[in-house]
Structure 1
Amino acid sequence: MPMPQYSRSQVLAVWAAASMPMALMAWVVVPLIATTEGDSVSWAKWLIGGLTLGLVWQGLLVAILVWVERGNLRWRTLKDALWLHAPTHPHTGRKGGMLWLVCLPLIAGLWLSGALPEPSHSPWRNFGTFLQSDAGRTFFAGNWAWFGVVAVMLMFNTVLGEELLFRGLLLPRMNRAFGRADWLINGALFAVYHLHTPWVIPAAVLDAFWLAGPAKYYRSAWIGIAVHSTASVVLLGMLLSLVWVPRGLSP
């Protein structure tokens, strides 16, 4: 079936349904709960748990909207509805194969933008800073349960949540409302979506070029998923080195 198109108000409604729960969790719910304990471990646990719930909700939101639109969630339906096809060259029609190599420079661009200086913010809200702290290393040493929670969070962050919603659901449905600028608007919405971590918004604006633009050009959400997931793989590797405590060694 032809790809249905959203109006501008529908695009903004989906954006709000994804971003507002994350922002409320980070800036309202977690501070109310975590301050009762008042330490970095408490903040980390509640933030990880709260944001994981927000990301899982995004995956459910995508499933609900596709169900309403298509009437089922069969894999064939999901592939067409969410651009879950191998990248396709727009001029030659060639699919997959060497086209996947386009991910390499995009990954480099994503990591370069991620290395840009960030506005100052509380270290208690920065997961990477927490992992490098004594409290973080002690907390995660041998802690496979919380490793699993973080793994779920990262899976929904770059595969089943953010990317599936922004590049799989929204981007293919934004052309009627925004024309040729649809991918730029998609990237801008994705940047501003990070109200729960606003210090990343300036660098995230560039993600339109590493994630939204290539996904639009090759008609494949897998491009954004593959590129964005590299950060999750590296983070999981860092976390695994903390969790995997050799027997006989103390944390």
Structure 2
Amino acid sequence: MIPAPQPAAVLTARPAYTGDRPIDAEPSQPPQYSFARILWTWAAAALPMAFLAWVVAPRLWTAFDGPSAWPRAIILCLTLGLIWQFVLVAVLVRREQGTLRWSVVKEALWLRAPRSPRTGRRGGWLWLLIVPLVVGIAAKELLVTIPIPVPADRDLGLFLRSDAGRDFFAGNWTWFALLVTMWVFNTVLGEELLFRGLLLPRMQRACGRWDWVVNGLLFTAYHLHVPWAMPKVLLDTLIVVYPSRRYRSAVLGIAAHSVQSVVFAILVLLLVLR
């Protein structure tokens, strides 16, 4: 029996070529969100964080004793809120894609190597884009001063520099592990994953060519739990969002922001090892 010819629709497309080197095929565009759905997703992340920081943490504070009572309460609450964002992303992607297989998730959330918009090639020298992003964020921290006071009882850096903070973290591996968990969910599995991995690829239809600007503004407004940080967050975000959008890789933003978390983790580790 002669096999029936395959329909053209199911034939495997051959990659485009430039000379004798293949160009990576353009991945499929994720489903696009309406502006109302974008705002709903923003609220699902921002409002729980604000509620935990301004309502739950002050009540949890009374359950602890000593000068470390408030830092412990706020760290626990923010960690819980960031874990919730990871769960939210997982639920939304599962409903959208029907699976959480890594091969599907990495494309749905742009968890892939940066892709050149000119040649279509992935990775390689494009990974070096992380270097100027990190330098830009560091320069902003050193050169930009925004006169918005941070409440002393909510300034984790101030606590870490105090005698109470140094005494609390000395040999305290349990709370060091909790802080590391908070930072991982902050820059890898929580905020960056939601805003750069989930939302940014799905905003083009609603926001057009300015989707990256709207994404940065939404990410800034999300920081209701630390409103004094919003101006610097906006600068940070505008540094990393456009490259993530241009090169279609959330990994760029995740990597650039994770450097800060690594630095903080090393500083706290030094206190633990005292």
User: How far is the alpha carbon of 1:203 from its aligned partner?
Assistant: 1.2
User: How far is the alpha carbon of 1:3 from its aligned partner?
Assistant: 1.1
Matched, 1:205 2:204: no
Residue 157 (structure 1) aligned to one of 168, 186, 193: 186
User: How far is the alpha carbon of 1:114 from its aligned partner?
Assistant: 3.2
Residue 82 (structure 2) aligned to one of 32, 49, 55: 55
CA distance in 1, matches of 2:97, 2:80: 26
Match of 1:176 in 2: 205
Counterpart residue identity of residue 87, structure 1:
P
Residues 36-73 of structure 1, C-alpha deviation per residue, up to 9 Å, x if partnerless?
66754111001000000000000000000000000110
% identical aligned pairs: 52
Matched, 1:16 2:47: no
Task: Give the number of aligned pairs.
Answer: 245
Unaligned runs of 5+ in 1: 246-251
CA distance in 2, matches of 1:114, 1:93: 34
Match of 2:151 in 1: 122
Alignment of 1:48-197 (within 5 A): 48-115=75-142, 116-118=144-146, 119-197=148-226
Match of 1:249 in 2: none
Out of 130-139 and 104-113, give the one that drifted further: 104-113
Matched, 1:41 2:68: yes
| Cα contact 1:113–1:204 (8 A) shared by 2 | no
User: How far is the alpha carbon of 1:74 from its aligned partner?
Assistant: 0.5
CA distance in 2, matches of 1:31, 1:153: 19
Could you say if the C-alpha distance between residues 180 and 40 of structure 1 is closer, same or farther in structure 2, counting changes exceeding 3 Å?
Answer: farther
Residues 157-178 of structure 1, C-alpha deviation per residue, up to 9 Å, x if partnerless?
0000011000000000000000
User: Scaled by the length of structure 1, what TM-score is found?
Assistant: 0.94
User: Scaled by the length of structure 2, what TM-score is found?
Assistant: 0.86
CA distance in 1, matches of 2:33, 2:137: 28
| Cα contact 1:40–1:124 (8 A) shared by 2 | no
Unaligned runs of 5+ in 2: 1-27
Could you say if the C-alpha distance between residues 24 and 114 of structure 1 is closer, same or farther in structure 2, counting changes exceeding 3 Å?
Answer: farther
User: How far is the alpha carbon of 1:101 from its aligned partner?
Assistant: 1.0
Counterpart residue identity of residue 167, structure 2:
T
CA distance in 2, matches of 1:227, 1:37: 35
